[in-house]
Structure 1
Amino acid sequence: MPELLSFADLSPTCFADVLPIEQVMEPGIVPLWPDMPRIAGPAFTVRCAPGDNLMLHAAIYRAKPGSIIVVQAGDHRFAVSGGNVCAVAGQRGIAGFVVDGVIRDLQEVKDIGFPVFARGVSPKPGGKKVYMPLNEVITCGGIGVGPGDLIVADREGIVAIPAARRQEILAAARQRQAADDATPLAQWRDKHRQRIAELLIKAGCPDGAPEPGTTRR
């Protein structure tokens, strides 16, 4: 999917510069193994009941290849996934999991290289008893995520780009990144120093931004 590759070219920081905080997940959801690659793809959303993981297990057979399964876990004490579930998801072309909760079998997940962003690990699995509808709006990482929202995740963080605005946001993020890439550090530093001085004065500092160790009179 060329479009998804375009999103994967940019860090979540680029998108966060042009998105409101309501589209940026809380920092507690992190990559669970080192050097995990950036993932980007449409959200397939899952809500699990407290202590139960049935719906995530169902989702790995229903999500389309390239999707990122985004999970609102009902209880952070119980793992919603283990190594076999991640292996099957990877075989089916799922790009990764973003879990507001915990998983288990982390070494297995790392060994197969399946990307999982979550709050941590727990050896205790959840049950498989409670049906809940799939692919509805959920809460993950403190923000709302809808089916098809574009997820971009790496070690810098996770953003959820509304499906209806994905091309608009991609264009804005590309423009912002291009401007940054075209600005030498010395030029950025000079503009930054001037801007910070102006903002300090606006915020109530009477002497702007003096150099360290100096005093303005």
Structure 2
Amino acid sequence: MTTISTPDLCDAYGEKVQVAEPVFRHYGGCENFYGEIATVKCFEDNSKVGESLRTNGEGKVLVVDGGASPRRSLLGDKLARMALDNGWKGIIVYGYIRDLEEIADMNIGVMALGSIPRKTEKRGEGRTGVNLQFAGLTVQPGNFIYADRTGVIVADESLKLTDLGDEG
């Protein structure tokens, strides 16, 4: 995968990209990732996260709005492994995750607000393919997200890394 630079993309595209508030931390083994956005909105129930990660994620990043709840983990090592096996480039959780030691060894981008060891209850609640708003971002399925050690940015579907002369 091509290495991207969020500062370079911001310099090149200015106000055409949205910059996330600096609230996310890296937990996966890959700290530089990007892809087309798929979305999940849920609260203390990761059923829809699991459903999404069971699908083919080639070239995609799952963006999860968990309402920033610190009471339940929305991602653990089993779901991260499933995502990796199904080709997902990354997972960004506006919420909390667990199994940090295992996830750190996986070659996938994983970002979240923090960690909590408590798992979620499975109630089948949540929605997929919806627009999300958090951390200063408006995120829509089909947009593109770029993450590196500097930060996270979102661009609409017209801005792809190939616009910078890279085959991506």
Q: TM-score, normalised by structure 2?
A: 0.86
- Unpaired runs of 5+ residues, structure 2, are none
SS where residue 23 of structure 1 aligns?
strand
- Structure 2 CA distance for aligned equivalents of residues 94 and 79 of structure 1: 19
| Contact 2:60 2:90 (C-alpha < 8 Å) held by counterparts | yes
Displacement of 1:146: 0.4
Q: CA deviation at 1:105?
A: 0.1
* 1:25 equivalent among 17, 20, 23: 20
From 14, 28, 37, the equivalent of 2:31 is: 37
Task: Please tell me whether the aligned partners of residues 47 and 133 of structure 1 are also in contact (alpha carbons under 8 angstroms).
Answer: yes
More helix by percentage: 1
Letter in structure 1 aligned against 2:51: A
Percent of aligned positions that are identical? 26
Q: Whose Rg is larger?
A: 1
Match of 1:158 in 2: 152
Alpha-carbon distance in structure 1 between the residues aligned to 2:126 and 2:117: 24
- 1:161–1:90 Cα change, 3 Å: same
Matched, 1:68 2:39: no
Query: What CA deviation, in whole Å up to 9, does each residue of 1:54-78 have, x standing for no partner?
Result: 1111110235322100010132321
Aligned to 1:213: none
Work out the CA distance in 2 between the residues paired with 1:83 and 1:140.
24
* 1:99 maps onto 2:93 in alignment: yes
2:159 aligned counterpart, secondary structure: helix
In the alignment, which of 123, 127, 142 is matched to residue 129 of structure 1? 123
Match of 1:58 in 2: 51
Contact 1:55/1:134, CA 8 A, preserved across alignment: yes
Name structure 1 gaps, 5 residues minimum. 176-217
Higher strand share goes to which structure?
A: 2
1:81-113 alpha-carbon deviations (Å, 9 max, x no partner) = 100110011001011111111100000111223
What amino acid is the match of 2:27?
L
4+ residue runs over 3 A deviation: none
Aligned length: 163
Cα distance between partner residues in 2 of 1:52 and 1:90: 21
- Per the TM alignment, residue 14 of structure 1 is displaced from its structure 2 partner at its CA by 1.5
AA aligned to 1:122 is I
